[in-house]
Amino acid sequence: MPNQALEQLANTLKVSATELEDLSVLSETHLSQLEGLITAAQQKQRQTLNDAIENGLNYVPAILRGTVKKIIRG
């Protein structure tokens, strides 16, 4: 029977569940907690990066900010 928490963790990390098979010794509860912590850390990392980009744009002359923002954000 596939471990749903392990599958969800693999999905969050964008890897195959077989790459995480050593973690199958953990309970579903612990795997879910780990997945939750990783998800929260990823969200915090994205927010920190966005904040850094916005703060960095303060050093760009106002007339160029829109263009630079488009280049940075893609």
Encode pLDDT of 48-69 as tens digits.
999 999 999 999 999 999 999 8
Distance CA 35, CA 66 (A): 36
pLDDT in tens, 2-33: 689 999 999 999 999 999 999 999 999 999 99
In the numeric block, the tokens 């928490």 are attached to: 5
CA–CA separation, 26 vs 20, rounded Å? 11
Amino acid at 13: L
Which pLDDT score is estimated for 27?
A: 93
